[in-house]
A and B are shown apart, each in its own frame.
Chain A
Amino acid sequence: MLEKPLFDFQLYQAQFSAHIRNPTHNKKPPNVNSNRMAVYKKAVFNNIVESVSVCFPVCQAVIGKRAWQQLMREFVATYASSSPIFREIPQQFLLFLQPVARVPTYFKQLAHYEWVELAITLQQTEQVQLSEEMDLLNEKPTFAAAHMLLEYDYPVQQISAKFKPTQTQETNLLVFRDAEFQVKFIELNPITYRLLQIIKAQDLTGEQALMQIAHEIQQPDTAAIVEFGLSILTDLADKQAIIGSHA
């Protein structure tokens, strides 16, 4: 809560901003010129809509212009965005969207998926010291510095105005930023996803991680698993998702 009782100018500002957020619900401060007040209503709304919309083109196509506009109205009217950083406005929208009951789950996951591109584009990273020669089995495979391993309940990458999923379908993705700062998405099968999860979370060498996979899927032919696994890791390295290895 505010420490002191509000001064007149603070009450005025509270009324002013409440009216900007939701003009139909909250009256403007008395005797303020309506035309001039409208400049602010328009500017604040359009600015936020623009910052959010640029990040979610598929979401907009999926629910249509009117419903999108309505969501934006609700976002501006009801949500207290907590970040002063402009590029975090889309993330604030994601947070707003989470409890909105009328929006289907696949839509929320799609919104997250669209936001990931922005997040990876701008993710700050630390450099890892790589070995001179890549050894994906005897050393720890190293992911591109900016990356995310993602798990969705719907094939988010296929959703469009023409395809709105009606059934869940486990979907795993590796998203990363390559050396030219391009964001790439790779669809993973469940075993590859699990392998990358193990490498990432447990700090294991490629071979150790593959042995764990063999154990988890109860595959006694570990040599075959290692050979198969190496081809997967090499392929990811070709795509720049894995950039080398370290001891």
Chain B
Amino acid sequence: MSSLADINGVGLGLKRELTPQIQKRYLDPSIANINFVEIAPENWIGAGGKAQKDLAWFVERYPIACHGLCLSLGGIDPLNTDFLKQVKSFLSANAIPLYTEHLSYCTDFYHGKSGYLYDLLPIPFTEEAVKYVAGRIRQTQDILEQKIAIENASFYAAAPISSLSEIDFLNAVLQEADCWLHLDINNIYVNSVNFAKPHQNPAKIASNFLQQIPKERIVYSHIAGHYQESAHLLIDTHGKDVIDPVWDLLAEAYQLFGVFPTLLERDSNIPPLPILMQEVNKIATYQADYTAKVANKMAAAC
């Protein structure tokens, strides 16, 4: 039985390709830095056979966080409460202490019916949207009888009707909904490049965004690679290695807020586990470096 406190250190997003590799190396020092794993409930709810057996294997051995994709917190159709009830029993059946979702939507209301588009679409940043989305987050938390975390999403098309900045929108939703933040470091960077004006430095925009994050709401974070379609357009594919500016942003986040649990997302073009472990280990090193720095400072002060 794992609790929220068990989601700590470094995590790895669990993909089907990685499952047998982790099982084969379980307890091997080479993968010791994987402290927890993350799954998308939409991939595992109701799945029998091999998938069910694999899930049971991980439930026994690793703390698990659920990171959802299809709740559609910003959707214009009614919140799918039947699905939420399934999520609730799934969390409880597998002793999963945490459920997080994206600050985005993936449904429309098509000919009077909810329709899933299965991708993360951008909510315009308006006051009305803040109230609407926060209401749906609270509804979700009421049904689940637990707090959820929302992830700052990557996006590509700015809505001309937006009246708030992304950070103000995010913070207003967090406050209004009183929920946790699932901080995605890569998304901050992706958005800073995608929406930097010609004279602006994306790294500075990203840093500025990070500095306005409410530290006390961070529950854990994501780090990932992305695809560079052009100098001004990054696509959040989770299909490449994490780039240096994103590592720098993680280091800065630890400086600002202290160490928080951090998970590597790799969803496409997945290298063999030993290669992927290099990035998992790098997160662990960043965390240890920061912790050592704090210890040194304290020793010097005494």
The answer to whether B126 has its CB under 8 Å from any CB of chain A is yes
Bound CA span A47–B69, Å: 13
- Residues in chain B near residue A1, CB distance under 8 A: 112
- Residues in chain A near residue B229, CB distance under 8 A: 39
Question: Are the C-beta atoms of A39 and B76 separated by less than 8 Å?
Answer: no
Q: Which residue of B lies closest to A125 (CB)?
A: B48
Question: Are the C-beta atoms of A146 and B48 separated by less than 8 Å?
Answer: yes
Known contacts A16-B121, A36-B156, A51-B118; A122 and B108 CB within 8 A of each other: no
Partner of B118, one of A16, A48, A177: A48
The answer to whether A163 has its CB under 8 Å from any CB of chain B is no
Bound CA span A73–B161, Å: 29
Question: Are the C-beta atoms of B121 and A40 separated by less than 8 Å?
Answer: yes
Q: How many residues on B have C-beta within 8 angstroms of the other chain's C-beta atoms?
A: 54
- Residues in chain A near residue B69, CB distance under 8 A: 86
CB 8 Å contact bits of B48-90 with A (1 = contact, 0 = none): 1111110000000000000001111011111010010000000
Question: Are the C-beta atoms of A43 and B116 separated by less than 8 Å?
Answer: no
The total number of A-B Cβ pairs within 8 Å is 147
The answer to whether A72 has its CB under 8 Å from any CB of chain B is no
Q: Which residue of A lies closest to B105 (CB)?
A: A13
Question: Are the C-beta atoms of B108 and A123 separated by less than 8 Å?
Answer: no
Quick one: which of A13, A43, A44 has the most chain B CB within 10 A? A13
- Residues in chain B near residue A30, CB distance under 8 A: 160
Question: Are the C-beta atoms of A21 and B123 separated by less than 8 Å?
Answer: no
The residues in B between 96 and 138 inclusive whose CB is less than 8 angstroms from any CB of A are 105, 108-119, 121-124, 126, 128-129, 132
The answer to whether A10 has its CB under 8 Å from any CB of chain B is yes
Question: Are the C-beta atoms of A17 and B116 separated by less than 8 Å?
Answer: no
Bound CA span A212–B124, Å: 66
Partner of B157, one of A7, A21, A40: A40
Bound CA span A87–B49, Å: 14
The answer to whether A31 has its CB under 8 Å from any CB of chain B is yes
- Residues in chain B near residue A125, CB distance under 8 A: 48-49
Quick one: which of B75, B117, B132, B194 has the most chain A CB within 10 A? B117
A77-85, A148-156, A191-199, A233-241 - interface stretch: A77-85
- Residues in chain A near residue B110, CB distance under 8 A: 17-18, 21, 80
A76 → chain B closest CB, angstroms: 8
Question: Are the C-beta atoms of B49 and A146 separated by less than 8 Å?
Answer: yes
Question: Are the C-beta atoms of B76 and A29 separated by less than 8 Å?
Answer: no
The answer to whether B243 has its CB under 8 Å from any CB of chain A is no
The answer to whether B272 has its CB under 8 Å from any CB of chain A is no
The answer to whether A228 has its CB under 8 Å from any CB of chain B is no
Bound CA span A73–B83, Å: 27
Bound CA span A231–B296, Å: 78
- Residues in chain A near residue B166, CB distance under 8 A: none
Partner of B108, one of A18, A32, A33, A48: A18
Question: Are the C-beta atoms of A13 and B48 separated by less than 8 Å?
Answer: no
Q: Which residue of A lies closest to B48 (CB)?
A: A124
Bound CA span A42–B244, Å: 28
Quick one: which of A35, A146, A177 has the most chain B CB within 10 A? A35
B257 → chain A closest CB, angstroms: 30
Quick one: which of A1, A10, A122 has the most chain B CB within 10 A? A10
The residues in A between 32 and 72 inclusive whose CB is less than 8 angstroms from any CB of B are 32-33, 35-37, 39-40, 43-44, 47-48, 51
Question: Are the C-beta atoms of B109 and A84 separated by less than 8 Å?
Answer: no
The residues in A between 72 and 103 inclusive whose CB is less than 8 angstroms from any CB of B are 79-87, 89
The residues in B between 186 and 243 inclusive whose CB is less than 8 angstroms from any CB of A are 194, 229, 233, 235
Question: Are the C-beta atoms of B123 and A13 separated by less than 8 Å?
Answer: yes
Question: Are the C-beta atoms of A82 and B76 separated by less than 8 Å?
Answer: no
CB 8 Å contact bits of A16-27 with B (1 = contact, 0 = none): 111011000000
- Residues in chain B near residue A32, CB distance under 8 A: 157-160
The answer to whether A201 has its CB under 8 Å from any CB of chain B is no
Question: Are the C-beta atoms of A31 and B160 separated by less than 8 Å?
Answer: yes
The residues in B between 140 and 168 inclusive whose CB is less than 8 angstroms from any CB of A are 156-161
24 inter-chain pairs at a CB distance below 8 angstroms, sorted by A residue, are: A8-B126, A8-B161, A9-B126, A12-B161, A13-B75, A13-B121, A13-B124, A32-B157, A32-B159, A32-B160, A33-B157, A33-B158, A39-B157, A40-B119, A43-B235, A48-B118, A80-B114, A81-B115, A81-B116, A86-B42, A87-B43, A121-B50, A123-B49, A181-B50
9 nearest CB pairs, A to B: A80-B115, A124-B48, A84-B70, A36-B157, A17-B108, A80-B113, A31-B160, A181-B50, A9-B124
Which residues in A have some Cβ–Cβ distance to B below 8 Å? 1-2, 6-10, 12-14, 16-18, 20-21, 29-33, 35-37, 39-40, 43-44, 47-48, 51, 79-87, 89, 121-125, 146, 177, 181
17 A-B pairs besides A9-B124, A123-B48, A146-B49 with CB distance below 8 A are A7-B129, A10-B76, A10-B132, A13-B105, A17-B110, A29-B160, A40-B121, A48-B117, A79-B115, A80-B111, A80-B113, A81-B115, A85-B45, A87-B47, A122-B47, A122-B51, A123-B49
